[in-house]
Structure 1
Amino acid sequence: MADGTSAAARKFDADRAGEYAQQSRIALAGYEACHELAACMLAAVLGSGTPARLLIVGAGGGGPEIVTAAALEPGWRFTAVDPSSAMMDLTIARLEQDGLHDRTEIVLGTVDALPQDAVYDAATLIGVLHHLPGDAEKRAILQAIAGRLKPGAPLVLAGNHYAYASQPLLLAAWGERWRQHGASADAIEARRGKILQGADPPHSEAAVAALLDAAGFEPPTRFFSSLFWGAWLALRRAGSADGA
């Protein structure tokens, strides 16, 4: 997992981190709704008002998973993991602004940097999987998460799926979304070229389910969709102590 994760972290340098908050909300129509529903799905499984420890993987960029979930459930505490220092700086600043720093452990690195005996009640992996090259890297991060979850614990997985070029209508609509927010034709074409070359999403919803199954999770339930983006909740399968 280290090589693919390091390459993904290098993509999110200081320049990209600085524009992330605005651009992610354009690229993903329904950005806030996805995070709000993710928190609701986790609360539906864990129970309203129940104390819990949540592992937030890929928490850089302002930590919207933490901010949204913390507002819904005051008894939840978080471990925020991200290998990009520029992205994590944004999250630390937001957590301090919202008074959430005391509820959050910051880990600059990967899931593998966590103690082997660390156990969590739930986890999120939002906007990460499609940045990791190849199925082996994707399975590795999911297995690392599964290995640190209690049996039956929920994982919220969200990110792009489909091979972008295989969905020309969705790709065209994605470009129109940028035009809707003032992007020029040249800027849209540049962004289209970047997305076609710079990410490797699972190629279908079935591929997402297969990755989760191989990592030790039950079949997922999709609760959000927006063009290429999907969000699912899957429970860690009981009896697979190593996450596989």
Structure 2
Amino acid sequence: MAATTNDSASKFDLSRAGEYELQSRIALAGYDACHELSACMLSAHLGTQGAANVLVVGAGGPAQEITKAGLLQPDWRFTAVDPSEPMLEIARARVAGAGMAERTQLILGRVEDLPDGPAFDAATLVGVLHHLPGSEPKRGILQAISSRLKPGAPLILAGNHRAYASEPLMLKAWGERWRMQGATADEVKAKLGRILQGADPPHSEAAVFALLSDSGFEAPQRFFSSLFWGAWIAFRAGRPN
């Protein structure tokens, strides 16, 4: 659940990679529930077909996208790509610890570096989009994923949406979440300042849906929400009847 461009990946150095999971669990109330439901949504859609090849974009860190879905579906195989080497090493250890190393290929790089073609039965992009500045990089990564999915294949997309400063009550509640976990008032102020300066989420759910539509996806449906965070399933255009 890390960034996927070279500039964004630089934020996920060894220091940040080491604290990523703890910070993510505080920042996202319902961290485990979101990953579990993401796996359940994929399994509900693909489970009857048996084996499946799943593309996990921004896979570095705890690798929950792999370990949760892999627990439900022992015949699934995963191709996981991330441009941050420290984050990918954490994912490698987690995948091995879950006994899923033999069915997971971990690649240091970007999804655009993968071979073209509709090779995958499903994909996930979790915690990535809001790290990419502007609409074009967001659209670019979604298009790169779309071009590598089979028609009708599902995408799990999850991340922050809404302009943070436009929702002052939610932003304040987010700060209270940090304070609830022991952060001081000054620490909360610093954290929110970094968030406001260092992330660029889509400004609405409608903007998320527009990005998906422009990138070859259809029928998006939200299945999880937590303050600014949302999680959706959408499908590569050309769904089979």
Instruction: Please classify the TM superposition score into its range, dividing by the shorter chain length.
Output: over 0.9
User: 1:112 maps to what in 2?
Assistant: 112
1:187 matched to 2:187? The reply is: yes
Contact 1:56 1:81 in 2 (8 A): yes
- Equivalent residue for 1:147? 147
Question: Following superposition of structure 1 onto structure 2, how do residues 125-164 of structure 1 map, counting pairs within 5 Å?
Answer: 125-164=125-164
Q: What's 1:175 paired with? A: 175
Q: Distance in 2 between matches of 1:80 and 1:52?
A: 14
The answer to whether the 8 A contact 1:133-1:200 is kept is yes
Give yes or no for contact 1:48–1:73 (8 Å, CA) kept in 2: no
Q: Structure 1 residues 192 and 22 mapped into 2: Cα distance closer, same or farther (>3 Å)? A: same
3-state SS, counterpart of residue 157 of structure 1: strand
Q: Which runs of 4+ in 1 moved over 3 A?
A: none
1:31-50 to 2 correspondences below 5 Å = 31-48=31-48, 50=50
> Contact 1:221 / 1:233 at 8 angstroms: preserved in 2?
yes
Distance 1:235 1:78 in 2: 18
SS in 2 for 1:220: strand
> What does residue 14 of structure 2 align with?
14
Aligned length, in residue pairs: 236
Does structure 1 conserve the Cα–Cα contact (< 8 Å) formed by 2:117 and 2:149?
no
Q: Give the AA of the match of 1:21.
A: E
SS at match of 1:222: strand
User: What is the Cα deviation at residue 117 of structure 1?
Assistant: 3.2
Provide the residue aligned with 2:236 in structure 1.
236
Give the C-alpha shift of residue 219 in structure 1: 2.8
CA RMSD of aligned residues (A): 1.1
Equivalent residue letter for 1:127: G
Measure the CA separation in 1 of the matches of 2:104 and 2:47.
20
Q: Percent identity?
A: 64
TM-superposition CA deviations, 1:140-183 (whole Å, max 9, x none): 00000000000000000000000000000110000000011111
Residue pairs, 1:51-62, within 5 angstroms: 51-62=51-62
Superposed displacement of residue 196, structure 1: 0.3
Equivalent position amino acid for 2:107 in 1 = V
For 1:204 and 1:88, locate their aligned partners in 2 and report how far apart those are by CA, in whole Å: 30
TM-score under structure 1 length normalisation: 0.95
Q: Which residue of 1 aligns with 2:74?
A: 74
Q: Which amino acid aligns with 2:78?
A: F
Q: Distance in 1 between matches of 2:222 and 2:136?
A: 23
Partner of 2:210: 210
Q: Kindly provide the CA deviation profile for residues 59-79 of structure 1, in whole angstroms up to 9, marking residues without a partner as x.
A: 001211001100011111100
Deviation at 1:99, TM superposition (A): 1.2
Per the alignment, residue 242 of structure 1 pairs with none
Separation in structure 1 between the aligned mates of residue 113 and residue 105 of structure 2, nearest angstrom: 13
Partner of 2:199: 199
